[in-house]
Amino acid sequence: MSDNILEAEFETVELFGKTALFTNSRIDRDSVPEGYFVYDLRHGDSGNPVAVEPFVGANHAGTVIMTEPLKFKKADEQYRRIGRGLNFIGENVSFEEFAAEYGQEQSGPAMEMS
């Protein structure tokens, strides 16, 4: 089951130097407004996130919301290894607070529900 973006609990993170939202939950892609990009984190054997992908079925370690698309090294790749690219900032925020601070247009399916 996936959570609506407006109902999920998020924590701010830095992913590859960009501020993003992180949740342990899966996010319903249909609830995400245009202008935001959703990726899943895959965990390795240790349980720590090791890769970011457009969608993870098994070994889901969380979901991130970003204001710009990730760049993959090759056009045909569908994952990017995280390495030291993920840093938890530790601030709990709602999607609406994140959207207000980072200046994205608040329109689309999720915002119509509020």
For residue range 37-94, list pLDDT tens digits in order: 999 999 988 888 999 999 999 999 999 999 999 988 877 778 999 998 899 998 999 9
The whole-number pLDDT of residue 36 equals: 95
pTM of the entire structure? 0.85
Extents of the domains making up the chain:
10-112
Task: Please determine, for residue 1, whether its predicted confidence score (pLDDT) is greater than 90.
Answer: no
**Sequence-distant (≥ 6) Cβ neighbours of residue 41 within 8 angstroms:** 22, 49, 51, 52, 53, 56, 60, 61, 62, 63, 64, 82, 86
110 pLDDT band (50/70/90 cuts)? Answer: very low
Whether pLDDT at 31 is above 90: yes
Cα(15)–Cα(87) distance, integer angstroms: 7
* Burial tier of 43 (Cβ tally within 10 Å: 0-12, 13-18, 19+): middle
Enter the tokens of residue 4. Answer: 């609506």
85, two tokens: 């690219």
